[in-house]
Structure 1
């Protein structure tokens, strides 16, 4: 239920005149806390990029307001230190800016005017929808690619959403403020990276982001930002499953016995696992590839050359965890399984 006109007026909003309206162009800013590495500068040079031909700006640094100024020419908050306390958040941060849109007219009936700004209440839905569609298309593959590129076996890197801002500007430069959406998060460790590493890794991530389908990236994004262990595990598993199936479908001759024999001899780190697949095919079990275990192994042998027997065993164990949950034997995965599936997903997707 929305706020009534009476409620708006109690909050200090005034009714617009009969022919009065508010017009403006709008920007949406997404704020992420980076967990897993630190920076040594309040703000790095902004990056302008496109994913799926959608333009956006990307900024990194330790100062929320300096990053925001580099992207859109304005502070994000009045008091950074208080904002960090309220959000239980710490630098470094990444900001992603979308827009500006074309000019939109207010559909609302009330405003609250200040000296240099106007507050509106849910008055620019078309502009919000326009920017939200851009955010929904770009953020999942972008964050997935960034996490994959910056993480390694010793250090997982996460980009935790902290706040979104939908802000507009009138023709005379007055700022229009509207609703904001907030999030919260947990604890982590970090490693320091240089500006050169930041730029290099970000460039790699942006290239990768354009290669991910949203079918894969959406579930990885949901998993990365989920705090419930069960949901986190299942979202990562769905992301892995989609990646395995899409990769498998691109490989020809999945039942080529000669290819399996050759691969067995050329991949000593996968000898045991490939031996299992070879035995199944020798028995004439062509249906073996209906299962995710065999598909995973086939993708490993043909595309994911950095994987080993140990990775295959981890995946086999994760399938058992998923099955135990599905069949009611377990109500949730243990902490090790959640960490293992995230690490495995990053290792696989990092080969894209």
Structure 2
């Protein structure tokens, strides 16, 4: 139900005339707790470089959310960081992802509270922030997925836990305009020290992976990374592995791969190649295609990974057939490791 004019005014807003025009450009900041690593003590600055993901998105990691925001956006994120940490149950280091819209929005009049350094508006941009909404659906999943893959290590998987989201605008005279609420969540993880050099390297590798991902590839793994329910997590991860395997299988170039892998003798170069192409056409199911990709494409995948995949598939099949599977025993951590390792193989 929409608030009445009198109710809005009782909240401290004043109605401005239509000839009082504001030009506003919106941005969104997403804050994550990076669980699984921390800065080494000798890393004096305790912050990473600012890394660009595309033309409009910046990413930085720091031991302080305000330090991260100042590096990426030139100003503090929280007015009182100590209180913010208590409220959000935050734990450093923090990943700050900042996306800025290209489009300027025009506000004619409207209900506002104008302070010295910022402006509050009441529901004045119902149709605004479309670029932000589109970016969060289409680009953010690939960014978070890429960062998770390359900040993790084979024996320690990191987790990016969403703590906060802030959408704000900037006016021509550099005043900050607030129009949306913030959200929060939390989790827990084990940490390992990492140098600033290593963190910067991981961030740069993440940009390379991000540029090679499409929305379909990253959507399900992003949903798994964000999902608290273990059953849904497991199914999202498996759905990613399934879709990823089929898409990678289609990219196999047997003229390049099979010759080297199977050492086809020169006397059988034509018939031998035809034989392997026929075997490829026979590979219809997921298990067969996973094996082909492991042999010909994924240099990081080993015997243990294939064994793990077979076990995970049996679990998925039990769920699909309606068998009683205890949620607490689901191998969520194992399937997460395999999914991230597959992405790391690109």
Output the TM-score relative to the length of structure 2: 0.86
Q: Secondary structure at 2:32's aligned position in 1? A: strand
Q: Relative CO higher for 1 or 2, CA cutoff 8 Å, sep ≥ 6? A: 2
Does the 8 Å CA contact 1:142/1:205 hold for their aligned counterparts? yes
Q: In the TM superposition, what whole-angstrom CA distance separates every residue of 1:312-333 from its partner, at most 9, and x where no partner exists? A: 1211111111121122113564
CA distance in 2, matches of 1:43, 1:57: 18
Residue 338 (str. 1) matches residue 306 (str. 2)? no
Unaligned runs of 5+ in 2: 264-274
Is the 2:168–2:177 Cα contact (8 Å) retained in structure 1?
A: yes
Contact 2:29 2:166 in 1 (8 A): yes
Deviation at 1:172, TM superposition (A): 2.3
Deviation per CA, 1:65-97: give whole Å up to 9, x if none.
121122222211111111111111111001111
**1:290-319 deviation digits (Å, cap 9, x = unpaired):** 211111111000011232222112111111
Corresponding residue number in structure 2 for 1:37 = 37
Residue 305 of structure 1 is aligned with which of 281, 284, 299? 299
SS state at 1:330 partner: coil
C-alpha deviation, 1:117, in angstroms:
1.3
Runs of 4 or more above 6 Å deviation: 258-261, 284-287
Query: Gaps (5+ residues) in structure 1?
Result: 264-280
- State how far apart, in whole Å, the 2-side matches of 1:57 and 1:236 are: 27
1:192 matched to which residue of 2? Answer: 193
Give the alignment of 1:94-113 within 5 angstroms: 94-99=95-100, 101-106=102-107, 109-113=110-114
> What displacement does 1:191 show?
0.6
Mapped partners of 2:75, 2:164: distance in 1: 16
Q: Which moved more, 1:225-234 or 1:93-102?
A: 93-102
Aligned equivalents of 1:108, 1:132: Cα separation in 2: 25
Query: Deviation digits for residues 126-152 of structure 1, max 9, x if unmatched?
Result: 541112223333321111111111212
Q: Is the 8 A contact 2:38 2:194 kept in 1?
A: yes
Q: How many residues align?
A: 330
TM-score normalised per structure 1: 0.85
2:300 and 2:214 map into 1 onto residues whose CA distance is: 22
CA separation in 2, counterparts of 1:332 and 1:120? 49
Match of 2:25 in 1: 25
Structure 2 equivalent of residue 237 of structure 1: 238
2:142 maps to which residue? 141
Query: Which of 325, 342, 346 is equivalent to 2:319?
Result: 325
1:267 matched residue in structure 2: none
Question: Could you tell me which residue of structure 1 aligns to residue 309 of structure 2?
Answer: 315
Contact 1:229–1:335, Cα closer than 8 Å, also in 2: no
